[in-house]
């Protein structure tokens, strides 16, 4: 009877022991691979493959995955996959989980990871994981999140990535790894080489430990250098809690041949400029990236101020800029109106007016608020003293209110509204006011002499086109200018009428001035052609009148000036001065028909007696002319 209980004990204890012993002998961690693959595929929304799984149990348990592979989404090649990792080892503190229910990972080591990062021309990519963000499904209420895993150190050995992004015209090879200097914190090192925005690119990044990115108490050090074609960028400093964009203390230096080449790197539309070098402080606060204390040079102009870029979800970023220049060369700003900026040789271009098409996608890439002041405008042949501009771009619509230039004690001010047009290009409406514009500043930069007085008036235009040249060539509007009082150098008046004797005396400085009773210019603009309604300069001894057309579309002149003396004058050939030809190289000649007739008569009479040769050049005075007052009243 005693043997039967013993047999039962052996059965109930021996069989489980044998099963346990067999389980130990036959145990394989690979049994869990299908479970892990299914969990990973559900989390990523991608096929995931794991070649091997090994676990080394202990207080610090090592979990090692081998031949880990994350496939590409549909529509991309199967090989190479999005990610391939020959070996991934994770060390887990088991006791911390048992005692405190905390996930503590003292070390993660990744050996020779490979990434294939792709985006095609249609905008599809292989690095987005909709499953991680819930896709388009409505979010479900979530429980209070638990504490994030505490990770000690991340080691990356011989990491590499191929990045090919068609929308950015980028194709680069990137290497990555961590360095562990003795007695110093680990550092992340990245290097990139290839092409970006169609230009060769090389880049080097030296940062702090990857996992210290999550440490809000210790700023993350960063040193970055990038060369993208002729553009060079250097960034040095620290980031505060960079995963949450809490702040930064960075010094940014960049230089190159054209700031427009920065657009692909920054995402901010920038017009073409001459060579530049800019430095400043870069930080992130209150939801905006700010570039403050900026100083440098663009062409011959200095540039200072602050720029802020505020990303906005679901719409364009907002760029706010307050810029200043102590001295500015307006040629450096040519890119803002479609002209070639800087010291480009204009003779190489067929047209005088800027004909580069306005880049509408670039205008619609960001909303912009710009305030700019240039204290002094450079150039000996430049009558403008200073410039002030307030520019707003909203969804591609431009409001330039105002663009103001100082001229002596007066100013020229432009008010412009423009928006994308249905037929392409921009639809624009602009008005220009001339407020006591100092004539001495205008005359002082011409070879025609000096003058005094204040010019006032206005101009308006309504148009549509793809460039400044096309808009001027299609515009409708008017120009009205006037001046009462003042004076012009007699040289200008005399040359306009070919008054030979007085022109010589004027060149010698006798006399050197002639008073202006009134100046009126009234021109209409119709389909790009400025037609003269009235052009009249009434001086104390002559009246200059003008007639003709200025074709802005063809960039040609067909104009005539004529002087009529108010008093008895010897040595005058009162013939029209014809100004004809293209803007770039017009001809300025007397009317050959009228001048030939008068000149032939003078030669014939000169054979008889020299004094008689002056008779055809004698112009009897026309007396005081009251047309100017009436015309000025009409212009007002």
Most confident of 10-14, 43-47, 205-209, 515-519: 43-47
Mean pLDDT of 479-503: 67
- Residue 99 burial (CB count, 10 A): 9
Of 432 and 152, the one with more pLDDT: 432
Q: Strand 288-298 to strand 301-310: parallel, antiparallel, or no bridges (unpaired)? A: antiparallel
Nearest CA among 304, 300, 359, 367 for reference residue 335: 359
Q: Are 419 and 410 in contact (CB under 8 A)?
A: no
Question: How far apart are the C-alpha atoms of 362 and 295, rounded to whole Å?
Answer: 25
| Percent of the chain residues topping a pLDDT of 70 | 72
187-196 and 170-179 beta bridge pairing: antiparallel
Q: Which residues contact 73 (CB under 8 A, 6 or more apart)?
A: 46, 126
CA distance 412 to 405: 5
Judged against a pLDDT cut of 60, whether residue 337 lies above it is answered with no
Query: In DSSP terms, which residues pair with 178 in a beta bridge?
Result: 188
pLDDT greater than 70 at residue 78: yes
> Is the pLDDT confidence value at 302 over 90?
yes
Neighbours of 325 (CB within 10 A): 24
- Mean pLDDT of all residues in 358-362: 70
Question: What is the spatial distance between Cα 222 and Cα 201, in angstroms, rounded to a whole number?
Answer: 19
Burial class for 632, CB neighbours closer than 10 Å (0-12, 13-18, 19+): buried
pLDDT at residue 20 is higher than 90: no
CA-to-CA separations, 474 to 187, 416, 477, 603, 621, in angstroms, rounded: 61, 16, 10, 48, 43
Rounded CA Rg of the chain = 39
| Cβ(379)–Cβ(367) below 8 Å | no
Contacts 24+ apart (CB under 8 A), 632-636: 632/482, 632/484, 632/518, 632/520, 634/522, 634/534, 635/457, 635/480, 635/482, 635/520, 635/522, 635/534, 636/482
C-alpha distances (whole Å) from 415 to each of 431, 459, 636 are 5, 11, 21
Phi-psi region of 296 (alpha: psi -120 to 50; beta: other; left: phi over 0): left
Q: How many CB atoms lie within 10 A of CB 33?
A: 16
Please report, in angstroms and rounded to a whole number, the separation of the first and last CA atoms in the chain: 135
Give this prediction's pTM: 0.70
pLDDT surpasses 70 at 508: no
**Residue 364 CB partners (closer than 8 Å, separation 6+):** 316, 395, 396, 420
d(CA 2, CA 267): 89
What does DSSP assign to residue 82?
S
| Top mean-pLDDT range of 246-250, 364-368, 448-452 | 364-368
Under the banding of pLDDT at 50, 70 and 90, the label for residue 138 is very low
What integer is the mean pLDDT of 457-478?
A: 92
Per-residue pLDDT band for 327 (boundaries 50, 70, 90) equals very high
Q: What is the mean pLDDT of the chain?
A: 78
Give the per-residue pLDDT at 446. Answer: 58
* Cα gap 391→322, rounded to integer Å: 11
CA atoms within 13 A on the CB side of 239: 21
């Amino acid at each position: 009877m005693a043997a039967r209980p013993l047999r039962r004990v052996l059965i109930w204890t021996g069989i489980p022991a044998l099963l346990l012993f067999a389980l130990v002998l036959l145990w394989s961690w690979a049994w869990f691979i299908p479970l892990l693959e299914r969990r990973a595929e559900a989390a990523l929304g991608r096929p995931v493959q794991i070649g091997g799984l090994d676990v080394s149990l202990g207080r610090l348990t090592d979990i090692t995955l081998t031949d880990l592979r994350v496939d590409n989404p549909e529509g991309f090649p199967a090989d190479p996959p999005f990610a391939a990792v020959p070996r991934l080892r994770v060390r887990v503190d088991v006791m911390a989980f048992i005692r405190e229910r905390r996930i503590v990972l003292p070390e993660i080591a990744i050996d020779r990871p490979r990434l294939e990062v792709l985006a095609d021309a249609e905008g599809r990519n292989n690095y987005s994981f909709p499953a991680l963000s819930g896709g388009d499904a409505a979010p479900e209420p979530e429980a209070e999140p638990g504490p994030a895993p505490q990770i000690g150190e991340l080691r990356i050995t011989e990491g590499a990535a191929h990045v090919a992004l068609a929308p950015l015209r980028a194709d680069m090879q990137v290497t990555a790894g961590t360095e562990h200097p003795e007695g110093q914190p680990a550092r992340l090192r990245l290097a990139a080489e290839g092409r970006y925005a169609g230009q060769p690119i090389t880049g080097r990044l030296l940062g702090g430990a990857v996992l210290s990115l999550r440490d809000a108490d210790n700023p993350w050090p960063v040193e970055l250098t990038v060369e993208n074609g002729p553009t060079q960028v250097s960034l040095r400093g620290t980031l505060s809690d960079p995963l949450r964009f809490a702040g930064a203390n960075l010094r940014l230096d960049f230089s190159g041949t054209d700031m427009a080449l920065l657009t692909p790197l920054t995402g901010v539309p920038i017009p073409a400029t001459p060579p530049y070098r800019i430095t400043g402080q870069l930080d992130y606060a209150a939801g905006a990236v700010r570039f403050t204390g900026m100083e440098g040079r663009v062409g011959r102009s200095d540039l200072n101020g602050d720029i802020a870029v505020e990303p906005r979800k679901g719409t364009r970023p907002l760029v706010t800029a307050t810029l200043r220049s102590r001295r500015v060369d307006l040629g450096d700003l040519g890119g803002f109106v479609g002209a070639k900026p800087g010291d480009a040789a204009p003779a190489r271009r067929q047209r005088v007016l800027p004909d580069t098409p306005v880049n509408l996608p670039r205008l619609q890439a960001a909303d912009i608020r710009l305030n700019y002041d240039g204290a002094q405008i450079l150039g000996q042949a430049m009558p403008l003293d200073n410039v002030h501009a307030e520019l707003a771009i909203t969804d591609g619509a431009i409001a330039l209110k105002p663009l103001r230039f100082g001229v002596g004690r007066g100013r020229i001010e432009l008010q412009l509204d423009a928006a994308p047009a249905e037929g392409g290009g921009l639809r624009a409406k602009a008005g220009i006011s001339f407020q006591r514009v100092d004539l001495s500043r205008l005359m002082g930069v011409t070879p025609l002499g000096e003058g005094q007085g204040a010019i006032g008036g206005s101009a308006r235009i309504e148009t549509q086109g793809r460039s400044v040249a096309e808009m001027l060539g299609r515009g409708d509007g008017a120009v009205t200018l006037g001046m009462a009082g003042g004076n012009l150098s007699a040289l200008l008046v005399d040359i306009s009428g070919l008054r030979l004797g007085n022109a010589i005396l004027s060149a010698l400085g006798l006399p050197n001035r002639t008073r202006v009773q009134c100046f009126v210019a009234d021109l209409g603009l119709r389909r790009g052609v400025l037609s003269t309604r009235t052009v009249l300069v009434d001086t104390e001894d002559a009246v200059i009148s003008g007639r003709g057309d200025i074709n802005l579309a063809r960039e040609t002149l067909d104009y005539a000036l004529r002087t009529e003396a108010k008093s008895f004058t010897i040595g005058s050939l009162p013939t029209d001065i014809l100004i004809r030809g293209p803007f770039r190289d017009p001809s300025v000649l007397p009317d050959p028909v009228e001048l030939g007739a008068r000149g032939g008569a003078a030669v014939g009479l000169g054979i008889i007696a020299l004094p008689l040769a002056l008779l055809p050049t004698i112009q009897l005075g026309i007396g005081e002319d009251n047309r100017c007052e009436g015309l000025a009243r009409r212009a007002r």
